[in-house]
């Protein structure tokens, strides 16, 4: 059955029905999830549909299942070049070239990556999110050079199994996926220059995949993640300490970001033409923002809520668990930070003077 679906998927791809090919490959993978060839071919269909982060994830899975498959490295490099992740693309191409030394496409694309990397290295604007003024990425198509067809019907994306959010510090972005009780070996996280791929496959639960193109570039070797009792926490090391206005890349948001930074340094520019780049004092900007937040005057419940949020934000994991457990078990009347005390017993409610606790009946 899986082989029949694979055959039909290849036929659909040749006929430029890339959406159908993607659907058929996905069905074949469900029947045979250990077949590396299916992931490599689905990666090519995703490339044709411009699903680039999904293509990278499929290529990575193919490489995981069959590290000797040169085609998988070619797929990964193609998607990464379209994402302007030239260092990652070059690394994949070099590995593929070692596996298939007779394949000339590897050396040709390695040379193109080196040219792009050289351009980035000599370009001052590389300090900001790139590809803002371009609609097409100058990466070349690896195989059949065909335009993407106009699709009349597009399926609505399924609702994700877990909720996620993010916050940031000057040097890193922290992504939290609220997945409770997930074993560590059921979580797989991969990092690219500007991509994140998260897969959660827990027994008896719906598979979860989160593969965004990130707002700006990161340093993959400095990124890490932790699987906790109630969540998966991913720490992304920023390549440049700029403020991310969103987690995922957006052409409109990125343009706004560039305008904002430009305006910050405008007063420091010389009045005469100069090619010398102006440095932005990010530490000074951060200190100013923190001072404004600190000086902000809040009253009543708003001040109290901010006080509790600040405690929770800077607390360690045990303190957070203590705050959550005490608040829930006491019906919102007790908030403790002592996990040794709270974790050993149930927290009883403590109503304010003149009031009494009542148990709701359902």
As a whole number of angstroms, the distance between CA 9 and CA 7 comes to 5
- Least confident span in 205-209, 235-239, 358-362: 358-362
What is residue 237's predicted lDDT score, i.e. its pLDDT?
93
Structure token digits, residue 24? 């058929």
Phi, psi (5° rounding) for residue 234? -115, 125
Q: Residues 71-77: what's their mean pLDDT?
A: 91
As a whole number of angstroms, the distance between CA 180 and CA 331 comes to 21
As a whole number of angstroms, the distance between CA 245 and CA 315 comes to 25
User: Within 10 A of 167 (CB to CB), how many other CB atoms are there?
Assistant: 12
Q: Where in the chain does DSSP place strands (E)?
A: 163-168, 172-178, 187-191, 196-200, 208-210, 224-227, 232-237
Q: Which domains does the chain have, with CATH numbers?
A: 2-120 (1.25.40.10), 163-237 (2.60.40.790), 304-361 (no CATH)
Report which listed range, 38-42, 81-85, 304-308, 330-334, is most confident: 38-42
Contact (CB, 8 A) for 343 and 322: yes
Helix then strand then coil, % of the chain, to nearest 5: 50, 10, 40
Q: Where in 66-169 does DSSP place strands (E)?
A: 163-168
pLDDT at 42 over 90: yes
What is residue 60's predicted lDDT score, i.e. its pLDDT?
92
Question: On the CB side of 335, how many CA atoms lie within 13 Å of its CA?
Answer: 9
As a whole number of angstroms, the distance between CA 21 and CA 156 comes to 17
Structure token digits, residue 201? 């496959």
pLDDT at 247 over 80: yes
As a whole number of angstroms, the distance between CA 140 and CA 78 comes to 7
Q: Nearest 5°: CA angle at 313, between 312 and 319? A: 40
Question: What strand order describes the sheet that includes 232-237?
Answer: 163-168, 172-178, 232-237, 224-227
pLDDT at 2 over 90: no
- pLDDT tens per residue, range 12-29: 888 888 999 999 999 999
What is residue 148's predicted lDDT score, i.e. its pLDDT?
46
Phi, psi (5° rounding) for residue 320? -65, -40
Cα Dmax for the chain: 85
- pLDDT tens per residue, range 338-353: 888 878 888 887 777 7
Q: Residues 161-173: what's their mean pLDDT?
A: 89
Residue listed under structure tokens 């069959």:
66
Q: Crossing angle of helices 70-82/86-99, nearest 10°?
A: 160
Structure token digits, residue 359? 């148990």
Residues recorded for the chain: 362
Q: Is the pTM of this model over 0.85?
A: no
Per-residue confidence band for 62, with pLDDT thresholds at 50, 70 and 90: very high
Contact (CB, 8 A) for 199 and 207: yes
As a whole number of angstroms, the distance between CA 60 and CA 128 comes to 27
- pLDDT tens per residue, range 102-155: 888 888 899 988 888 888 776 544 444 444 444 444 444 444 444 444 444 444
What is residue 264's predicted lDDT score, i.e. its pLDDT?
42
Residue listed under structure tokens 């992931």:
39
What is residue 142's predicted lDDT score, i.e. its pLDDT?
42
- pLDDT tens per residue, range 169-218: 889 999 999 888 889 999 999 998 888 989 998 888 888 888 888 888 99
The DSSP code for 102 is: T
Q: Residues 60-74: what's their mean pLDDT?
A: 92
């Amino acid at each position: 059955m899986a082989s029949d679906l694979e055959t039909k998927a290849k036929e659909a791809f040749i006929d430029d029905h890339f959406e159908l090919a993607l659907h058929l490959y996905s069905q074949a993978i469900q029947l045979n999830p250990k077949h590396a060839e299916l992931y490599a071919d689905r990666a090519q269909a995703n490339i044709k549909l411009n699903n680039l982060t999904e293509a990278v994830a499929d290529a990575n899975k193919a490489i995981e299942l069959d590290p000797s498959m040169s085609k998988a490295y070619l797929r990964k490099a193609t998607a990464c070049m379209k994402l302007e992740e030239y260092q990652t693309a070059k690394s994949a191409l070099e590995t593929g070239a070692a596996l298939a030394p007779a394949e000339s496409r590897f050396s040709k694309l390695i040379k193109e990556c080196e040219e792009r990397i050289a351009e980035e290295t000599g370009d001052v604007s590389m300090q900001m999110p790139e590809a803002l003024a371009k609609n097409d990425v100058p990466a070349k198509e690896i195989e059949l050079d065909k335009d993407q067809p106009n699709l009349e019907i597009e399926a609505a994306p399924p609702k994700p199994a877990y909720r996620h959010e993010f916050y940031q510090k000057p040097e890193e972005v922290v992504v939290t996926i609220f997945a409770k009780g997930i074993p560590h070996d059921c979580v797989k996280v991969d990092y690219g220059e500007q991509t994140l791929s998260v897969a959660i496959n827990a027994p008896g639960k719906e598979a979860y995949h989160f593969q965004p193109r990130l707002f700006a570039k990161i340093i993959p070797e400095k990124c890490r993640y932790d699987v906790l009792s109630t969540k998966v926490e991913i720490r992304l090391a920023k390549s440049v300490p700029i403020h991310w206005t969103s987690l995922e890349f957006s052409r409109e948001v990125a343009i706004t970001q560039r305008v904002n930074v430009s305006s910050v340094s405008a007063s420091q520019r010389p009045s005469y033409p100069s090619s010398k780049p102006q440095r932005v004092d990010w530490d000074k900007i951060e200190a100013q923002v923190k001072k404004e937040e600190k000086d902000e005057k809040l009253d009543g419940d708003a001040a109290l809520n901010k006080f509790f949020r600040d405690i929770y934000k800077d607390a360690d994991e045990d303190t957070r668990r203590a705050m959550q457990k005490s608040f829930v078990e006491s019906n919102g009347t007790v908030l403790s930070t002592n996990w040794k005390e709270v974790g050993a017993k149930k927290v009883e409610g403590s109503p304010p003077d003149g009031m009494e606790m009542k148990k709701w009946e359902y």
